[in-house]
Amino acid sequence: MTLTIKRPDDWHLHLRDGEMLAGVLPETARDFGRAIVMPNLVPPVVTSADAAAYRARIMAALPEGADFQPLMTLYLTEATNAGDVAAAHASGLVTAVKLYPAGATTNSDSGVRDFDNVQGVLEKMAEIGLPLCVHGEVTDPSVDIFDREAVFIDRVLDPLRRRIPDLKVVMEHITTADGVGYVLSQDNVGATITTHHLIINRNDLLVGGIHPHYYCLPIAKREEHRRALVEAATGGDTRFFLGTDSAPHTDPNKESACGCAGVFSATNTMACLAHVFEEANALERLEGFASLHGPAFYGLEPSAAMLTLTRHADPVTYPAKIETGAGPVTVFDPGFPLHWTTS
């Protein structure tokens, strides 16, 4: 069996920098034509000059002959300059701005604590049509980690949407039925769904021991929420699209007393997605989720290139790890045999 679709894009990707960037970038560029690149480096990508320099480093790290376009983002801080954001957007340098509540995830300490301090930037973004990508979790220590997405919607996102209804918002890596329901209730709101959140639930993380390579933020939730995500991804609604949140960390940094949050899935994402969509009897909707809905939301044309997925009778072996100059990185294990390859 073969399935040919327009070449997919990844609307939420971590590439890191330096030797890690050089090691993981070929894994994305193999299947994906474009990707929204996250700005949470150390120090973060805050200004247009930062974004231009980071883009140059990404392009320099591309394998020879690779056809890949990084779509740059700016890290929203309380000191972000609205004029710089508008100029970066007008020049075509940046495609979105990323909101991290301070302390929500990896390298998010420079994020927003007081949303009143970014009101002017957000209003300018609404005026010029620049999307805001949101890491949707509160960081209040009194809120249970499994509830932080739902609480963020009530406390932060919905009030923000009411204040600036014209602001285009992407709810990144939604993990709950609450997130799905909120997207379906709104105009100007889309959502990315990751490969791993379509496949694992919190039992996979915690039952039989702690499995550090399934630890991510937002954390995997109950099975009922995973099923809601699968229904949203495979249902054909254009407001939902692929953002892998593929996030490499070296194995020592994952397998430690305080392991880093992140799942690296760039290597086998399309094979995993083909399995999920096949199980849902929705293979004909995979192209929409992976290749069409994201460009439409961002106002871009879909790729002119094509990608062919081939289903094999026998399971296909993907590497358990990739080696980078920064150290080994474990590839996401979906927990079931994979039968699909791409070309």
Q: Which residues are catalytic?
A: 245
Largest CA distance in the chain: 56
Coil, strand or helix: which one is 325? coil
Instruction: List, in order, residues 6 or more apart from 116 with CB less than 8 Å away.
Output: none
CA 18 to CA 22: how far, in whole Å? 6
Residue 55 contacts residue 29 (beta carbons within 8 Å): no
Contact status, residue 284 vs residue 271, Cβ threshold 8 Å: no
Q: How far apart are alpha carbons 16 and 239 in whole angstroms?
A: 27
Task: Put residue 18 in one of left, alpha, beta given phi > 0 → left and psi -120 to 50 → alpha.
Answer: left
Helix or strand or coil: residue 34? strand
Bin 172: left if φ > 0, else alpha if -120 < ψ < 50, else beta. Answer: beta
Residue with tokens 């923000």: 160
Residues linked to residue 322 through DSSP beta bridges, in sequence order: 329
- Structure tokens, 130: 């620049």
